[in-house]
Amino acid sequence: MSDGRKQQMDAIESALVGLADSPLYSYRQEHQYHAVVGEGSLNAQVMLIGEAPGEREAKTGRPFVGASGRFLDELLASIGLKREDIYITNVVKDRPPENRDPTPEEIALYAPFLAQQIEIIQPMVIATLGRFAMSFVMEFLHVPLQKVPKISDVHGQVFQGKAGYGPVAVVPLFHPAVALYSVQRRDTLFADVETLRPYLQAE
């Protein structure tokens, strides 16, 4: 099973690296950035999804590195997880210039890759990191809400979505970067990540 999953993920990486149709491709080439596909266990129970890579991520080809990534590692450790236990990726796989929000065109182009990743890994729970990722994932997984809520109203709560392989829980979390500027948000994130603990059963 894992070998098949790796082959599928390798195919996604190859397609992303050569995605010349992307409006972000020339920006990536110009700055010698990398596409940031994602990393972690292909058998993960828990999947984390952010918005798009920043400069440090684009330079290294790895998601959530730098100060916010170090805090994310602290969050995971607080519930007994390491990065290699989960899978972490972004909705958009290339860095938008000046860290601006991705455009609808960019989202539409990259979304099928994320959809494939979710189907390959088949997580029990998806934790979204930040408002943008929450909005996209809730709509994508058909969370039964009349409208996407504000993250400040629903962070740390569990919602039920539907993926191709079956039901999947969705837990909105604040983006780890907010903890760098707010002690209160830092404490909130440690409390909210506890919501993932019931999904950490042995494989």
Listed in sequence order, the residues at least 6 apart from 174 whose beta carbon sits closer than 8 Å to its beta carbon are 129, 130, 151, 155, 185, 188, 189, 192
pLDDT of residue 203: 45
Helix (H) or strand (E) holding 67: helix 67-78
d(CA 177, CA 78) in angstroms, rounded, equals 17
Listed in sequence order, the residues at least 6 apart from 180 whose beta carbon sits closer than 8 Å to its beta carbon are 67, 68, 71
pLDDT of residue 148: 86
Q: Are 115 and 88 in contact (CB under 8 A)?
A: no
* Position 101, amino acid: D
Give me Rg for the CA atoms of the chain.
Answer: 16
pLDDT > 90: percent of the chain: 93
DSSP character for 100? P
The pLDDT of residue 99 is above 90:
no
Average pLDDT over residues 169-182: 95
The pLDDT of residue 107 is above 50:
yes
d(CA 45, CA 122) in angstroms, rounded, equals 8
Task: Establish how many alpha carbons lie within 13 A of residue 128's alpha carbon, considering only the half-sphere containing its beta carbon.
Answer: 27
User: How far from chain centre, in Å, is Cα 179?
Assistant: 17
d(CA 51, CA 93) in angstroms, rounded, equals 9
Domain boundaries, the chain: 2-198
Q: What average pLDDT does the chain have? A: 95
CATH for 2-198 is 3.40.470.10
The pLDDT of residue 15 is above 90:
yes
pLDDT of residue 2: 67
Token pair of 40 as six digits:
């972690």
Token pair of 129 as six digits:
């990191």
The pLDDT of residue 188 is above 70:
yes
141-152: per-residue pLDDT in tens?
A: 999 998 889 999
The pTM is what? 0.95
The pLDDT of residue 1 is above 60:
no
d(CA 28, CA 175) in angstroms, rounded, equals 24
Average pLDDT over residues 69-92: 97
Average pLDDT over residues 106-134: 96
The pLDDT of residue 202 is above 80:
no
DSSP character for 66? S
Q: How would residue 200 be classed by pLDDT, with cut points 50, 70 and 90? A: confident
